[in-house]
Structure 1
Amino acid sequence: MKIVLLCAAGMSTSMLVKKMQEAAKAKGLDADIAAYSESQLTKVAPGADVILLGPQIRFALKKVSAECEKYNVPVDVIPPADYGMMNGVKVLALAEKLAATKK
């Protein structure tokens, strides 16, 4: 499963990626998880299974969702509390739940 996290610059989100990778490894889940800046959306959307937005760019949800519709990629915003706590387990669970909705 390819999980893409989008944020403003990719700094704090890269810490969350590490936590999510640890959670995936602990579950035995084969997941490719990476963070990108929102400006790279058109490059990363076609190959993604799920796209999660950092809370700091939740204003872009409509635009990102419209772009991702072309590729049938589900999109959601990471809950601010999970993002702030760098809760890789919960954010990974959100990604898995979204991936299950993919047609």
Structure 2
Amino acid sequence: MSTSMLASKMQQVANSHDLPIEVEAFPDGKIAQIISERHPDVILLGPQVKYRYGEIVEKYGSSGIPIQVIDQTDYGMMNGEKVLKSAIKLMKAAK
């Protein structure tokens, strides 16, 4: 639920700046499906699944999609703007 709330806040920030960005939250168990069906520009993991980061990067890192764990403080504060900025930087660095 918290991840969906953060995604909503990130989408509000993107919309307020007229950025063509779509932010959605999905369970970590659906990463393979999301990659194959939607090919996202970036995958952000909630801090609650940080322990799976290495496994996820090993499994899906070759897809070319950058993967990062959301900063725990930003997540806890529901700082949609800061998390969105971090995601945008990650996307730009990957190109």
TM-score, scaled to structure 2: 0.92
Name the amino acid aligned to 2:84. Answer: L
Partner residue of 2:77 out of 78, 82, 85? 85
Is 1:31 the equivalent of 2:31?
no
Q: How many residues align?
A: 93
Q: Could you tell me how far 1:20 is from its partner in structure 2?
A: 0.2
| Per-residue deviation, residues 29-76 of structure 1 (Å, max 9, x unmatched) | 011111111110111124111000100110111111123322100011
Partner residue of 1:53 out of 41, 45, 49? 45
- In structure 1, stretches of 5+ residues that fail to align are 1-10
Name the amino acid aligned to 2:27. Answer: S
Q: Identity across aligned pairs (percent)?
A: 40
Runs of 4+ in structure 1 deviating by more than 3 angstroms, as ranges, are none
Greater mean deviation of Cα atoms: 37-46 or 47-56: 37-46
Q: Which structure has more strand as a fraction of its residues?
A: 1
**1:1-103 mapped onto 2 (5 Å cutoff):** 11-46=1-36, 47-103=39-95
Name the amino acid aligned to 1:90. Answer: K
Q: Distance in 2 between matches of 1:51 and 1:44?
A: 10
- In structure 2, stretches of 5+ residues that fail to align are none
TM-score, scaled to structure 1: 0.85
Q: Distance in 1 between matches of 2:26 and 2:33?
A: 10
Q: Aligned Cα RMSD in Å?
A: 1.1
